[in-house]
Chains A and B, each alone.
Chain A
Amino acid sequence: MDNVLEVKNLTMNFGGIKALDRVSLEIKKNQIVALIGPNGAGKTTLFNCLTGIYTPNAGDIMVQPPQGKARRINGMKINHITELGLARTFQNIRLFGGMTVLENVMIGRHCRTRAGIAGAIFRPNSTRTEENDIVDQSYSILEYIGLTMYVNDLARNLPYGAQRRLEIARALACDPQILLLDEPAAGMNPQETGELEQLIVRLWRERHLSVLLIEHDMKLVMNLAQNIFVLDYGEEIARGTPQEITQNPAVIKAYLGVETNAEIN
């Protein structure tokens, strides 16, 4: 399978509400894909299904890990999915507020390291090296993202934009092959959004990541995405390249009256 992620006919109900209705989606290796749609369309719900937070009612989610064969991840535990290479950020920032910025990133290394209780207490050489590596790698991620000035600050004391970037840094520390970003530019000013755009391009170009991006900022979406999926009321109403999407009548209709309408045209 040359897709790293394949979603087929995914359905998710909450009580009577169909938050997702037979949604299908594919992401190729090293591709930036955007997921757009009006508020309440089911975008975050899709992310929650992909990352194991919700168990979908029907459909398949297949992940192709770097080695081995494709895995169906429906119903898998959240942390196992992360180990398979899906890492995400949250729309409403969920950092570990009482931990420092560096520690937040170090948490991301957890699933790629081994030391247990005995290691922690007796601290043999192997644990010592591992711990040093965690610190070094986390620090270099912070350098990459440009957050080193905050290394030892508590995450909750960071400015808003920095918190959003720290969420990305933390996700990167999990060594993902697919990065899921839920409205990373929300609340950012144009300059910060510009920097974010460059960051995502770098991740794509230098780290060869696949990115699935939920975003309401259409300029950002159009600049970044190679492929776009549009959801409305839990259903996929369109898919295609940015050019195709801007000219799609169904999309324009779905967005009619929404201010982003202007940006699409």
Chain B
Amino acid sequence: MNYFWDLFLGGITRGSIYALIALGYTMVYGILELINFAHGEIYMIGAFTALIVASVLTMHGLTGVAVLILATIVAVFYAAAYGFSVEKIAYKPLRQAPRLSPLISAIGMSIFLQNYVLLAQTSDFLPFPNLLQDVLLPEAISGWIAPSEFIIIFTAAVLMIGLTLILKFTKMGKAMRAVAQDREMAMLLGINVNRIISRTFIIGSALAAIGGVLIASHVGRINFYIGFGAGIKAFTAAVLGGIGSIPGAMLGGLVLGLTESFATGYISSDYENVFAFALLILILIFKPEGILGRSSQQKV
């Protein structure tokens, strides 16, 4: 039972991170119908920036929660800036192009960013300081869950609720949903579509960066290639829940995290990624609209 509980918590923890990254995929797909292949790299850059900031601060004698907070803020800023720039460079000029063009451009961007970090930093795994350890939790909680797991799940939940509220009630959120539903019509109604798209990228990237910082300090090491695996898995989560759907991304993330956790725990840990990829394939073949997505007829 204890083993089961550990796997369960591990699954929810992973799943929360997948969900955070998946939100970026799903929001961009909802608006541009584009698989933002470079999204995983944004998450990786967020984690790297946090590592750099945390290391510099630690060497200057700072410790504790302050490091975590400062590193997260800088990481979020940079990830958002990269996400914004990626959209402007690689996707915006291709709005009118055939469908596959922005996808190929996105793959190019993903390869570019990976190798940019590889060349400017290193190809080795770097140890990531466990920033979450310094957060003190009341004993009532830390008795049954590891502090880092609790913080990850809690933060992810707060962020997702926040995002849902923003989308539901703010003017920007409404505009975003309008653009996702019908871009032309939104434009006719005077919504600045380009600005909405930029903001979508910024929000998605910021969430991915937070996910990056959290998981990096939980796992304890990063390299330039972590974005690839995490990216595909988060995409799987998005598809699983129904791409374009925000609650779907959250649900998909949790389902994927739990599946992975139990499959590696009870079957074999060698095939960790195989389970995720197999799940993706099965979903796309048998229920391509996902758990919460609606199937729609292509308009002719």
Give A contacts to B, CB under 8 Å. Answer: 14, 44, 48, 53-54, 90
Contacts and interface: CB of A to CB of B under 8 A. Distances in A.
Interface residues of B, number: 2
A90 B300 contact: yes
Nearest to A182: B300
A130 to B, nearest CB: 31
A44 B297 contact: no
Interface of B: 297, 300
Contacts of B297: 14, 54
Q: Decide if the interface of chain B is mainly helix, strand, loop or mixed.
A: loop
B57 to A, nearest CB: 53
Nearest to B298: A53
A54 B299 CA distance: 10
A90 B297 CA distance: 17
Nearest 3 interchain pairs by C-beta: A48-B300, A53-B300, A54-B297
Nearest to A47: B300
A48 B300 CA distance: 8
A191 to B, nearest CB: 29
Contacts of A54: 297
6 contacts: A14-B297, A44-B300, A48-B300, A53-B300, A54-B297, A90-B300
Contacts of B300: 44, 48, 53, 90
A90 B300 CA distance: 8
B200 to A, nearest CB: 25
A44 B300 CA distance: 8
Nearest to A44: B300
Contacts of A48: 300
A14 B296 CA distance: 8
A203 B297 CA distance: 33
B71 to A, nearest CB: 46
Contacts of A90: 300
Contacts of A44: 300
A204 B21 CA distance: 59
Contacts of A53: 300
A127 to B, nearest CB: 31
A54 B297 CA distance: 8
B93 to A, nearest CB: 20
B103 to A, nearest CB: 18
A183 to B, nearest CB: 13
A53 B300 CA distance: 8
B100 to A, nearest CB: 13
